Structure 1
């Protein structure tokens, strides 16, 4: 049985959600693992995560033609043109597989638009957040869905997105890649450190309307440090459009005056922004719609959420994570919210612990091993 693992994204943030499964599935007799990447950076990242297991894996580099390359240079900052072109122009590589494991839903275009009928499709979501984009009808197209825990499963079942027979709970493979060593020390002082982690969604993100004021406030004070580490896709594109919300925003650069301050660390998309370096090192979370809040509460700590769009969120399942901290509607409320986080850091501990337990299944078996076993059990091996 040939099991393919596809990595076909502008950024590297999805890789840790499925790559650990590769090292486990090659342990099964009769299984050949094939890694398909669309950039040298992706392949290098997967190889680094696999270590010696990479020697048991067949790597395939997916390429696109000159016309597609030219169009991508024009469109890459506003649309995922290259991702779709990579699927369309490499159909023989996908047709050779029995199973294709992906961390996103775009790959279903192989079957739904490009007519590929061969492989069975397995989805391991790259995150465990609450946004509506994580619960869309397109998800019904997968043959097997591997989920982090009961929270996501129950919502998908209720929406009819999965069936009892086509899913399994396996935990969160990304956690299998995280170093248990003490968090990295990023500042030469003992002040509390805030992680500002805005999403790229043009409606829900605080970056476009509040980000400049957030940076200005942290720049002029000396009470806390600040890590600015947005979702990596915020930095990848200039123009962010949401078909769902029918809104568009343009991303401005961060001014040099903020990058040069000793108590502010800016990271617009390095490896540290996706490997939990910052979620492990900081003391207070400041965000909006990013699913990284669920990685944050692996160790309960204060969280503050910026309601940039004025959402009526309290009873909305898309904002369930906002119950894990304090929600503020304007930057003027930030100083008081930070004071509360410092003086009463355990205010939301019970809610965070309950949310973590519901979101992530943890057993004595690594999530990646559980995922590999679920794939082989479902589709068999020669």
Structure 2
């Protein structure tokens, strides 16, 4: 059986799927090739492989036609994923299955990729509708971490009982393998606040809150602050822009726009209080229940909106002037939210026992076996 793992987007998605590729590659009769679009991807794949101690595996850069190369050279415009898929359609069509973490691959049939089974594992654990897009229905098999995602996909008619599996949080397992002892991030031992802003232009709290936040934290002595926005927020920005932000770090504030720590849960593990908006990374943080504060930068009516369900797991701040007060109160108010955090984290992350990648590989092979038997 030949399976292509298709990393068509940025390298951060490796942490959600590469361990499944390693597990499949160790199974008899299974050949796995990892295709990538982002040139940074092999370094991350190797980082994960070495953490698992497995033999080398095949990586292959996706072919890019001259028009695709030209468009990708304009970095701010993105990865041009569909163009890349079209450039590689004939080669990818030779596989028995394609595994992806990116819903763009839903267009594979339209681009001429008809032979392989399409297997999709949505990256992340969040509540936003973006994670439950109608494109999920285009896949032959879907892997999700927890019952929350499975239930929502089932209710939307995007999957059936037979064409999905719940396997647990692959990224948490990978991050645990990668975990290393870092020297203390700060000179002063104080509670650490993690600010994790999402990249979504219409929902991010960054533009409204970052400057007041830096000002307030710069004038206090109670907390340290890690500013760790979604890795894609600055990915398409110039080195000079990223360096300008990181240069504003101090003895009590870290601003990180590009390091591996934005992807591997280093900061989530190190923090005591989470501050954020709509990122599903809150559930990575809540693998261990801790105080949270959420930022409503756009006056969203969120209370009955399932896309903001996680905002019921901590106090919500609308005005930057109330931010530091809410953070200061968060530890003593945590008892009010702890039980709900545990329930939501269980539904989102699923089975946290060892073996998420193994369960994913088992589910894929079971599905492929069932598919072969009905041909």
- Report the TM-score, using the length of structure 1 for normalisation: 0.90
**SS of match in other structure, 1:195:** strand
Aligned residue in 2 for 1:58: 58
**In 2, Cα distance between the equivalents of 1:258 and 1:39?**
26
**In 2, Cα distance between the equivalents of 1:231 and 1:150?**
25
> Which structure 2 residues correspond to residues 1-382 of structure 1 after superposition, within 5 A?
1-9=1-9, 11-51=10-50, 52-55=53-56, 57-74=57-74, 76-81=75-80, 83-112=81-110, 114-179=111-176, 184=182, 185-237=184-236, 259-362=248-351, 364-380=353-369
Go from structure 1 to structure 2 and tell me whether the alpha carbon gap of 1:355 and 1:257 turns closer, same or farther (over 3 Å shift): closer
Following superposition, the deviation at residue 363 of structure 1 comes to 6.0
**In 1, Cα distance between the equivalents of 2:293 and 2:339?**
16
- Note the alpha carbon deviations across 1:249-284, whole angstroms, 9 max, x for none: xxx868569624211101112111110000000111
CA contact (8 A) 2:11 2:38 kept: no
**In 2, Cα distance between the equivalents of 1:339 and 1:152?**
33
**In 2, Cα distance between the equivalents of 1:264 and 1:44?**
28
**In 2, Cα distance between the equivalents of 1:257 and 1:136?**
34
Following superposition, the deviation at residue 164 of structure 1 comes to 1.2
Go from structure 1 to structure 2 and tell me whether the alpha carbon gap of 1:162 and 1:278 turns closer, same or farther (over 3 Å shift): same
Go from structure 1 to structure 2 and tell me whether the alpha carbon gap of 1:79 and 1:49 turns closer, same or farther (over 3 Å shift): closer
**SS of match in other structure, 1:222:** coil
**In 1, Cα distance between the equivalents of 2:317 and 2:288?**
22
Go from structure 1 to structure 2 and tell me whether the alpha carbon gap of 1:254 and 1:329 turns closer, same or farther (over 3 Å shift): farther
Structure 2 residue runs of 5 or longer lacking an equivalent are none
CA contact (8 A) 2:128 2:278 kept: yes
Superposition CA RMSD, Å: 2.1
**In 2, Cα distance between the equivalents of 1:47 and 1:254?**
26
Go from structure 1 to structure 2 and tell me whether the alpha carbon gap of 1:63 and 1:302 turns closer, same or farther (over 3 Å shift): same
CA contact (8 A) 1:215 1:258 kept: no
- Note the alpha carbon deviations across 1:69-112, whole angstroms, 9 max, x for none: 222222x313442x222211112321121111111101122212
**In 1, Cα distance between the equivalents of 2:264 and 2:204?**
21
**In 2, Cα distance between the equivalents of 1:253 and 1:58?**
32
Q: How many aligned residue pairs are there?
A: 365
**SS of match in other structure, 2:176:** coil
**In 2, Cα distance between the equivalents of 1:77 and 1:215?**
26
Go from structure 1 to structure 2 and tell me whether the alpha carbon gap of 1:379 and 1:256 turns closer, same or farther (over 3 Å shift): closer
- Note the alpha carbon deviations across 1:323-364, whole angstroms, 9 max, x for none: 111111011111221121133443321111111111122265
**SS of match in other structure, 1:133:** helix
Go from structure 1 to structure 2 and tell me whether the alpha carbon gap of 1:147 and 1:64 turns closer, same or farther (over 3 Å shift): same
Following superposition, the deviation at residue 313 of structure 1 comes to 0.5
CA contact (8 A) 1:206 1:288 kept: yes
| Structure 1 range deviating more: 26-35 or 160-169 | 26-35
**In 1, Cα distance between the equivalents of 2:40 and 2:292?**
33
**In 2, Cα distance between the equivalents of 1:257 and 1:116?**
43
Following superposition, the deviation at residue 213 of structure 1 comes to 1.9
